[in-house]
Amino acid sequence: MAPDLTEGLVDVCTRLYQRRLTFSTGGNISVRDGDRVYITPSGRNKGMLKRGDIVTVDMDGRALQGGKPSIETGFHLAIYKMRPEVQAVVHCHPQYCTALAVMGAPMRTGLTPEGVLLLGDVPLVPYGTPGTKDLVRLLASYCVDHDALLMARHGALTMGKDLEEAFNRMEELEFQAHMQFLVGDAEEIPLEERRRILGLP
C-alpha cells in the first residue's frame, strides 16, 4: 500500500465522520494510484478506520490486499475508467443532501459563488439498488459531465483530482443543501454573474 495515499484516505474518512457527512457504516471513499485503487472496507464505521483496514483492488475489482472492499467498488472503478483525471471519489450520506435526494428535489448550487465554482450543475441520479450493476449503469450516464451528484434515496457523490478536492466538494455540497433548506425560494445568482464567476482566475 502507498503510505501517503492510504493515510490520506483514513484522514478524509475521519474528517467526513467528524463533520457529520457520514454516519455509522454508510458511504465509501477511494483514491486511485495508477492501476490500483485503495477503498474503504465493507460494513465498517468510517470514523474508526485505521490504515491497515483499507482494501487494495485492481481496476477489475479484484482484491489485492486487505479484507472485503465496499459493495460499491463497481461504481468507483467505473468512474476511474471513464474519467482518468479523477483520482478520488467520495460517496456518503450527508443529512441535507440525503433529504433532498429522498424528496426528489433539485439541488440549487447557484445560491452562493462557492456553489457555482466548486460544484456546478448537480443532477439527481435515479434510484438504483446499492451494490448492483444497475446503480453502476445509472451513475455512469451522469458522471461524465459532473463532479458532484445526488443519488435518489441514497446520498451524495463527489469526485476530484485528489482526496482534498473530492472532500471539499462533498463539504460544499452539504453546505449548499443546508442553505437550500434555510433560504427557501430565495433567488439564485443571475446567469450572467455565474458566467463571470466561472471566468475568474
Q: Show which residues are catalytic.
A: 72
Three-state DSSP at 61 gives: coil
Quote the CA–CA distance of 143 and 135 in Å, as a whole number: 12
Beta-ladder partners of 28: 91
User: 77 near 37, Cβ under 8 Å?
Assistant: yes
What separation, in Å, do the N-terminal and C-terminal C-alpha atoms of the chain show? 37
* 77 closest CA partner among 96, 56, 98: 56
Residue 123 to residues 109, 142, 179, 184, 193, Cα–Cα distance (Å): 11, 8, 17, 19, 21
